Structure 1
């Protein structure tokens, strides 16, 4: 790697470290006076945001893969989201050993509010940007995340 390539990687590393403040949030968030665990929002995102999920719901394995956690961790997170009334868990019609997780009506409303909050926050940050720059950042972040996943699997 040449010096320019190294400087670019160092710049990327610094930017990603600074992004931690943007990404890190408290474990419990306030939603109009009601506490919501961040893990509930993550589970909702895993079961509602079109991750090629089957129309019949997502399995615990699907949630684990989408959140990049162990199956047992995903199961615990789903249990918390279920206790919060955000998702339901039931047996799969195809395999009784498999649980299917689906968002409840309240969970879908919560997921939509969370999405709108995030989009408004991103819109505020990028409000002065050229739309082509926003599109380029989105495309490059997709590429980065996809390539990160392929490196992790190796």
Structure 2
């Protein structure tokens, strides 16, 4: 009988060992599932952070493109205004040159008349109230009346091609 009681106690210890192994295996499976769930959750959060970062970068790209478009438009408008001012400046420079040349010519005429006949200053004993010369060129009643000197010489932007 001793052997039967020994066998029965041996089989119960085997049952206890297998029960503790099953509990250990169940505990390990439970930890494994927890770790797997935790890893999945961590991966999901990582994907969400990555997606948010990509969305933020896409929004920043859109904003920078919009700013770039506005800057390019502003540069184009400024360039057009600059070219218009430059063209107007060229016309004005040409007009200044023409007017300076006309003034120089008129001053030469006045100097010539002053030195030869004394028309615009005291030159001799004769005084006339109508600036008449012997040949009648500067007669106020003369039909020419220096009309050619009263016409402006104008330069236009069409003449000045770049």
TM-score by length of 1: 0.28
TM-score by length of 2: 0.27
Structure in which a larger fraction of residues adopt helix: 2
Structure in which a larger fraction of residues adopt strand: 1
Q: Larger C-alpha radius of gyration, 1 or 2?
A: 2
